Amino acid sequence: MEASRDISVIELRVNYSETDQMGVVYHAWYLVWCDVARTEHLRRTGMTYADLERRGIRLAVGEARVRYRQPAKYDDLIQVRCWVRDLASRRIIFGYAIDDSASGRLLATAETSLMVLDQDFNWNRLPADVAQLLPVAADPVRL
């Protein structure tokens, strides 16, 4: 699965420490993978969290939702797709699809809603130049 301008893709290998006693990935790791994918998605647009923070902008997760479909297991190679689902002046909603790289099976889908805050953690507005770097993409899978 290749990245497009609006949908980025990262690849990760499931580490043994990410699995539980049943031999499958512990559920909380999917949110960690989404965080890694979102950070890389921002980086590919030309900005980083550090760039935003230098401008006094904070992006804080206000909501997170994961739908688990198939288990990932130790040593699986997975891909995490990330895109912007919706953009408003004070909120960005990101979508995610986590796939098994070898089979293409959809393992999980997720969504996070990030609040735009200032350096004192009060509501803030997303600057227009930043918003322009985050085009909304159609969902490539049903979330």
Cα dihedral 41, 45, 48, 52 sign: negative
Question: Helices then strands (H, E): number in the chain?
Answer: 3, 5
The string of pLDDT tens digits covering residues 18-64 is: 999 999 999 999 999 999 999 999 999 999 999 999 999 999 999 99
Residue 124 CA, distance from chain mean position: 21
Q: List the domains of the chain with CATH numbers.
A: 7-132 (3.10.129.10)
The catalytic residue positions are: 20
Q: Please give the model's pTM, rounded to 2 decimal places.
A: 0.95
